[in-house]
Protein backbone atom coordinates (compact mmCIF):
# COMPACT_ATOMS: atom_id res chain seq x y z
CA UNK A 1 0.00 0.00 0.00
CA UNK A 2 1.23 3.46 -0.86
CA UNK A 3 -0.04 5.18 2.30
CA UNK A 4 -0.24 3.14 5.50
CA UNK A 5 -1.67 4.56 8.68
CA UNK A 6 -1.94 2.16 11.58
CA UNK A 7 -3.35 3.18 14.97
CA UNK A 8 -1.94 6.68 14.60
CA UNK A 9 -2.64 9.30 17.24
CA UNK A 10 -1.63 12.85 17.97
CA UNK A 11 -1.97 14.45 21.36
CA UNK A 12 -1.26 18.15 21.84
CA UNK A 13 -0.27 19.59 25.18
CA UNK A 14 -2.09 22.86 25.56
CA UNK A 15 -1.26 25.38 28.29
CA UNK A 16 -3.86 27.94 29.03
CA UNK A 17 -3.49 30.99 31.24
CA UNK A 18 -6.28 30.89 33.81
CA UNK A 19 -5.19 33.74 36.03
CA UNK A 20 -2.17 35.71 37.25
CA UNK A 21 0.73 33.18 37.24
CA UNK A 22 -1.80 30.40 36.99
CA UNK A 23 -1.72 28.01 34.09
CA UNK A 24 -3.79 25.02 33.29
CA UNK A 25 -2.38 22.08 31.34
CA UNK A 26 -4.68 20.17 29.13
CA UNK A 27 -4.27 17.48 26.51
CA UNK A 28 -6.07 17.61 23.20
CA UNK A 29 -6.36 14.30 21.38
CA UNK A 30 -6.55 15.70 17.84
CA UNK A 31 -6.19 12.29 16.16
CA UNK A 32 -7.28 9.24 18.10
CA UNK A 33 -6.01 5.90 16.86
CA UNK A 34 -6.91 6.04 13.19
CA UNK A 35 -6.02 3.38 10.63
CA UNK A 36 -6.38 3.35 6.86
CA UNK A 37 -4.46 2.50 3.71
CA UNK A 38 -4.48 4.18 0.31
CA UNK A 39 -3.37 2.32 -2.81
CA UNK A 40 -1.23 3.98 -5.47
CA UNK A 41 -3.41 5.94 -7.90
CA UNK A 42 -6.41 6.20 -5.59
CA UNK A 43 -8.24 9.49 -5.16
CA UNK A 44 -9.67 9.64 -1.66
CA UNK A 45 -11.73 12.32 0.06
CA UNK A 46 -10.93 13.07 3.68
CA UNK A 47 -13.72 14.97 5.32
CA UNK A 48 -15.07 15.96 8.71
CA UNK A 49 -16.38 18.92 10.68
CA UNK A 50 -14.13 21.77 11.86
CA UNK A 51 -11.51 20.66 14.33
CA UNK A 52 -12.03 16.97 13.49
CA UNK A 53 -8.33 16.30 12.95
CA UNK A 54 -7.97 16.48 9.17
CA UNK A 55 -5.13 18.99 9.00
CA UNK A 56 -3.32 17.23 11.82
CA UNK A 57 -3.47 13.98 9.84
CA UNK A 58 -2.15 15.66 6.69
CA UNK A 59 0.64 17.31 8.67
CA UNK A 60 1.68 13.90 10.04
CA UNK A 61 1.60 12.45 6.52
CA UNK A 62 3.96 15.17 5.30
CA UNK A 63 6.26 14.85 8.32
CA UNK A 64 5.57 18.36 9.68
CA UNK A 65 4.15 16.77 12.84
CA UNK A 66 5.37 13.63 14.59
CA UNK A 67 2.64 11.19 15.70
CA UNK A 68 2.31 10.57 19.45
CA UNK A 69 1.68 6.91 18.71
CA UNK A 70 1.05 4.36 15.97
CA UNK A 71 2.77 3.66 12.68
CA UNK A 72 2.78 5.72 9.53
CA UNK A 73 4.39 5.14 6.11
CA UNK A 74 4.17 7.00 2.81
CA UNK A 75 5.89 5.25 -0.12
CA UNK A 76 7.67 3.14 2.49
CA UNK A 77 9.07 6.24 4.19
CA UNK A 78 8.45 7.28 7.81
CA UNK A 79 7.48 10.93 7.17
CA UNK A 80 8.69 12.58 10.38
CA UNK A 81 12.05 10.76 10.27
CA UNK A 82 12.82 11.41 6.64
CA UNK A 83 10.90 14.52 5.87
CA UNK A 84 13.31 15.84 3.27
CA UNK A 85 13.50 12.57 1.35
CA UNK A 86 9.70 12.35 1.39
CA UNK A 87 9.35 15.97 0.25
CA UNK A 88 10.67 14.95 -3.17
CA UNK A 89 7.84 12.49 -3.59
CA UNK A 90 4.84 14.43 -2.29
CA UNK A 91 3.09 17.65 -3.21
CA UNK A 92 1.00 19.70 -0.80
CA UNK A 93 -1.56 22.42 -1.44
CA UNK A 94 -3.14 24.29 1.46
CA UNK A 95 -6.07 26.27 0.09
CA UNK A 96 -5.94 28.85 2.83
CA UNK A 97 -2.22 29.53 2.55
CA UNK A 98 0.09 29.97 -0.38
CA UNK A 99 3.53 28.44 -0.86
CA UNK A 100 4.28 31.07 -3.50
CA UNK A 101 6.41 34.15 -2.94
CA UNK A 102 3.93 36.96 -2.49
CA UNK A 103 5.87 39.80 -4.12
CA UNK A 104 7.44 37.88 -6.97
CA UNK A 105 5.98 37.11 -10.38
CA UNK A 106 4.56 33.60 -10.47
CA UNK A 107 7.32 32.32 -12.74
CA UNK A 108 10.00 33.35 -10.22
CA UNK A 109 8.45 31.11 -7.57
CA UNK A 110 8.61 28.23 -10.03
CA UNK A 111 12.25 28.99 -10.85
CA UNK A 112 13.10 28.95 -7.15
CA UNK A 113 11.36 25.59 -6.73
CA UNK A 114 13.20 24.25 -9.75
CA UNK A 115 16.43 24.88 -7.89
CA UNK A 116 15.22 24.01 -4.39
CA UNK A 117 14.00 20.59 -5.44
CA UNK A 118 16.86 20.10 -7.92
CA UNK A 119 14.37 19.17 -10.61
CA UNK A 120 16.11 18.03 -13.83
CA UNK A 121 15.74 20.80 -16.47
CA UNK A 122 13.76 18.76 -18.98
CA UNK A 123 11.33 17.49 -16.35
CA UNK A 124 10.84 20.98 -14.99
CA UNK A 125 10.14 22.40 -18.44
CA UNK A 126 7.79 19.60 -19.36
CA UNK A 127 5.81 19.80 -16.10
CA UNK A 128 5.67 23.58 -16.22
CA UNK A 129 4.44 23.61 -19.83
CA UNK A 130 1.79 21.06 -19.02
CA UNK A 131 0.55 22.91 -15.92
CA UNK A 132 0.58 26.26 -17.73
CA UNK A 133 -1.54 24.78 -20.50
CA UNK A 134 -4.01 22.79 -18.40
CA UNK A 135 -4.34 25.32 -15.59
CA UNK A 136 -4.40 28.26 -18.03
CA UNK A 137 -1.54 30.10 -16.42
CA UNK A 138 -0.06 31.45 -19.66
CA UNK A 139 -0.98 35.09 -19.16
CA UNK A 140 -0.22 35.06 -15.45
CA UNK A 141 3.41 33.98 -15.23
CA UNK A 142 4.79 37.53 -15.08
CA UNK A 143 2.17 38.77 -12.59
CA UNK A 144 3.19 39.16 -8.92
CA UNK A 145 1.35 36.63 -6.81
CA UNK A 146 -0.30 39.28 -4.64
CA UNK A 147 -2.10 40.63 -7.72
CA UNK A 148 -3.66 37.27 -8.63
CA UNK A 149 -7.29 36.48 -7.89
CA UNK A 150 -7.95 33.68 -5.43
CA UNK A 151 -8.77 31.22 -8.23
CA UNK A 152 -5.66 32.18 -10.22
CA UNK A 153 -3.48 31.88 -7.13
CA UNK A 154 -4.92 28.48 -6.33
CA UNK A 155 -4.12 27.23 -9.82
CA UNK A 156 -0.65 28.72 -9.39
CA UNK A 157 -0.24 26.85 -6.12
CA UNK A 158 -1.36 23.55 -7.61
CA UNK A 159 1.20 23.93 -10.41
CA UNK A 160 3.89 24.69 -7.82
CA UNK A 161 3.07 21.47 -5.97
CA UNK A 162 3.47 19.42 -9.15
CA UNK A 163 6.70 20.70 -10.71
CA UNK A 164 8.77 17.96 -9.07
CA UNK A 165 6.50 15.10 -10.24
CA UNK A 166 5.15 14.02 -6.86
CA UNK A 167 3.59 10.59 -6.59
CA UNK A 168 1.05 11.78 -4.07
CA UNK A 169 -0.73 15.09 -3.75
CA UNK A 170 -2.35 16.27 -0.52
CA UNK A 171 -4.94 18.95 -1.11
CA UNK A 172 -6.40 20.82 1.84
CA UNK A 173 -9.50 22.77 0.73
CA UNK A 174 -8.32 23.37 -2.84
CA UNK A 175 -11.61 24.95 -3.95
CA UNK A 176 -12.35 27.09 -0.90
CA UNK A 177 -13.66 30.52 -1.88
CA UNK A 178 -13.48 29.82 -5.62
CA UNK A 179 -16.27 30.66 -8.05
CA UNK A 180 -18.06 27.93 -9.98
CA UNK A 181 -15.86 28.21 -13.08
CA UNK A 182 -12.59 28.14 -11.13
CA UNK A 183 -13.80 25.15 -9.13
CA UNK A 184 -14.64 23.30 -12.35
CA UNK A 185 -11.18 24.06 -13.77
CA UNK A 186 -9.40 22.79 -10.67
CA UNK A 187 -11.50 19.63 -10.54
CA UNK A 188 -11.00 18.88 -14.23
CA UNK A 189 -7.26 19.30 -13.85
CA UNK A 190 -7.13 16.95 -10.85
CA UNK A 191 -9.14 14.33 -12.71
CA UNK A 192 -6.74 14.48 -15.64
CA UNK A 193 -3.69 14.37 -13.39
CA UNK A 194 -4.98 11.29 -11.65
CA UNK A 195 -6.10 9.63 -14.89
CA UNK A 196 -2.96 10.30 -16.92
CA UNK A 197 -0.21 10.16 -14.34
CA UNK A 198 -1.81 7.93 -11.74
CA UNK A 199 -0.99 10.49 -9.05
CA UNK A 200 -2.45 9.44 -5.70
CA UNK A 201 -4.64 12.19 -4.27
CA UNK A 202 -5.83 12.78 -0.73
CA UNK A 203 -8.38 15.56 -0.71
CA UNK A 204 -9.67 17.46 2.30
CA UNK A 205 -12.69 19.63 1.64
CA UNK A 206 -15.94 21.01 2.99
CA UNK A 207 -17.43 20.90 -0.48
CA UNK A 208 -19.26 17.63 -1.07
CA UNK A 209 -19.27 18.30 -4.81
CA UNK A 210 -15.46 18.11 -4.84
CA UNK A 211 -15.79 14.61 -3.47
CA UNK A 212 -18.73 13.68 -5.67
CA UNK A 213 -16.91 14.68 -8.83
CA UNK A 214 -13.48 13.36 -7.95
CA UNK A 215 -13.43 10.59 -5.37
CA UNK A 216 -14.91 7.12 -5.43
CA UNK A 217 -13.94 6.69 -1.80
CA UNK A 218 -14.38 8.96 1.16
CA UNK A 219 -13.11 8.78 4.73
CA UNK A 220 -14.89 10.71 7.47
CA UNK A 221 -13.13 11.77 10.64
CA UNK A 222 -14.84 13.29 13.66
CA UNK A 223 -13.33 14.13 17.03
CA UNK A 224 -10.12 12.48 15.89
CA UNK A 225 -11.77 9.15 15.08
CA UNK A 226 -12.51 7.55 11.75
CA UNK A 227 -16.27 7.19 11.57
CA UNK A 228 -16.72 6.13 7.94
CA UNK A 229 -14.53 4.73 5.15
CA UNK A 230 -16.24 3.71 1.93
CA UNK A 231 -18.15 4.88 -1.13
CA UNK A 232 -19.76 8.32 -1.15
CA UNK A 233 -23.13 6.76 -2.00
CA UNK A 234 -22.88 4.75 1.20
CA UNK A 235 -22.24 7.94 3.14
CA UNK A 236 -25.40 9.46 1.73
CA UNK A 237 -27.28 6.34 2.78
CA UNK A 238 -25.71 6.32 6.21
CA UNK A 239 -26.56 9.99 6.61
CA UNK A 240 -29.88 9.72 4.76
CA UNK A 241 -28.86 12.98 3.18
CA UNK A 242 -31.03 15.17 1.04
CA UNK A 243 -30.57 17.78 -1.62
CA UNK A 244 -32.70 20.88 -1.78
CA UNK A 245 -34.54 22.09 -4.85
CA UNK A 246 -35.19 25.82 -4.51
CA UNK A 247 -38.04 26.98 -6.73
CA UNK A 248 -39.29 30.47 -7.47
CA UNK A 249 -42.95 30.51 -8.44
CA UNK A 250 -44.82 33.31 -10.19
CA UNK A 251 -46.64 34.10 -6.97
CA UNK A 252 -47.08 33.02 -3.40
CA UNK A 253 -48.79 29.61 -3.30
CA UNK A 254 -49.54 26.90 -0.74
CA UNK A 255 -46.71 24.33 -0.28
CA UNK A 256 -46.05 22.35 -3.45
CA UNK A 257 -47.41 18.81 -3.40
CA UNK A 258 -45.51 16.15 -5.34
CA UNK A 259 -46.31 13.06 -3.29
CA UNK A 260 -43.33 11.22 -1.84
CA UNK A 261 -40.84 12.63 -4.40
CA UNK A 262 -40.02 15.60 -2.15
CA UNK A 263 -41.27 17.54 0.84
CA UNK A 264 -41.45 21.26 1.31
CA UNK A 265 -39.15 22.32 4.14
CA UNK A 266 -39.51 26.09 3.88
CA UNK A 267 -41.73 28.68 2.17
CA UNK A 268 -40.85 32.37 1.84
CA UNK A 269 -43.20 34.34 -0.39
CA UNK A 270 -43.07 32.87 -3.88
CA UNK A 271 -39.93 30.85 -3.04
CA UNK A 272 -40.15 27.27 -1.77
CA UNK A 273 -37.50 24.80 -0.64
CA UNK A 274 -38.07 21.11 -1.43
CA UNK A 275 -35.94 18.37 0.10
CA UNK A 276 -35.41 15.20 -1.94
CA UNK A 277 -33.06 12.19 -1.54
CA UNK A 278 -29.48 13.12 -2.50
CA UNK A 279 -28.99 9.88 -4.40
CA UNK A 280 -31.80 10.65 -6.85
CA UNK A 281 -31.73 12.77 -9.99
CA UNK A 282 -33.47 16.14 -9.75
CA UNK A 283 -34.74 15.87 -13.35
CA UNK A 284 -38.01 14.06 -12.65
CA UNK A 285 -38.87 16.33 -9.75
CA UNK A 286 -38.10 19.46 -11.76
CA UNK A 287 -40.24 18.22 -14.67
CA UNK A 288 -43.14 17.53 -12.36
CA UNK A 289 -42.98 20.87 -10.58
CA UNK A 290 -42.64 22.68 -13.91
CA UNK A 291 -45.68 20.87 -15.32
CA UNK A 292 -47.94 21.52 -12.37
CA UNK A 293 -46.82 24.91 -11.03
CA UNK A 294 -46.04 28.36 -12.52
CA UNK A 295 -42.26 28.06 -12.30
CA UNK A 296 -40.02 31.10 -12.85
CA UNK A 297 -36.61 29.88 -11.72
CA UNK A 298 -34.92 27.08 -9.80
CA UNK A 299 -31.63 25.86 -8.36
CA UNK A 300 -30.40 22.73 -6.62
CA UNK A 301 -28.37 22.95 -3.41
CA UNK A 302 -26.06 20.19 -2.35
CA UNK A 303 -26.06 19.01 1.25
CA UNK A 304 -22.94 20.20 3.03
CA UNK A 305 -20.67 17.82 4.82
CA UNK A 306 -21.65 18.99 8.29
CA UNK A 307 -25.31 18.26 7.47
CA UNK A 308 -24.53 14.77 6.17
CA UNK A 309 -22.44 13.91 9.22
CA UNK A 310 -24.98 15.37 11.63
CA UNK A 311 -27.69 13.22 10.06
CA UNK A 312 -25.42 10.20 10.18
CA UNK A 313 -25.16 10.60 13.93
CA UNK A 314 -28.86 11.28 14.34
CA UNK A 315 -29.66 8.03 12.48
CA UNK A 316 -27.19 6.10 14.62
CA UNK A 317 -28.64 7.53 17.81
CA UNK A 318 -32.16 6.48 16.91
CA UNK A 319 -31.18 3.07 15.47
Ligand X SMILES: Nc1ncnc2c1ncn2[C@@H]1O[C@H](COP(=O)(O)OP(=O)(O)OP(=O)(O)O)[C@@H](O)[C@H]1O
Element (H, E) at 297: strand 295-301
Would you say 74 and 61 are in contact if contact means Cβ atoms under 8 Å apart?
yes
Minimum CB–partner distance for residue 143 and ligand X (Å):
29
- Residues β-bridged to residue 16: 24
- 50 in contact with ligand X (CB under 6 A): yes
Member of 5, 38, 42, 53 binding ligand X (CB under 6 A): 53
Interface residue with ligand X, options 38, 55, 74, 210 (CB under 6 A): 55
- Letter string b/e over residues 23-50, b meaning 16 or more CB atoms within 10 A of that residue's CB: eeeeeeebbbebebebeeebbbbbbbbe
**Residues near 259 by Cβ (< 8 Å), separated by ≥ 6?**
none
Residue 28 lies near ligand X (rule: CB under 6 A): yes
To ligand X, the closest distance from the beta carbon of 170 in angstroms equals 12
Nearer to ligand X, 52 or 244 (CB): 52
Q: Is 206 helix (H, G, I), strand (E, B) or coil?
A: coil
217 binds ligand X (CB under 6 A): no
Stretch that binds ligand X, among 1-9, 52-60, 154-162, 227-235 (CB under 6 A): 52-60
Query: Nearest to residue 60, comparing CAs of 125, 130, 5?
Result: 5
The least distance separating ligand X from the CB of residue 65, rounded to whole angstroms, comes to 8
What is the nearest approach in angstroms of ligand X to the Cβ of residue 94? 10
Q: How far apart are CA 43 and CA 219, in angstroms?
A: 11
Does residue 62 interact with ligand X by CB under 6 A? no
Binding footprint of ligand X on the chain (CB under 6 A): 12, 14, 28, 30, 48, 50-56
Amino acid sequence: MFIEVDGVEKVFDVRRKTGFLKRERRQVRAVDSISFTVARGEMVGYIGPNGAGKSTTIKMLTGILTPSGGRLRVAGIDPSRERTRLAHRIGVVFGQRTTLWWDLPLIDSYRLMHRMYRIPDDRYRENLDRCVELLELGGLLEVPVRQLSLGQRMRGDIAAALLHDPEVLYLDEPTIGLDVISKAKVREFLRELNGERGTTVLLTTHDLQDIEQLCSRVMVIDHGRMVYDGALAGLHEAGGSERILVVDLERELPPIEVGSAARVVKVEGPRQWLAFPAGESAAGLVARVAAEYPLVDLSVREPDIEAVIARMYAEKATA
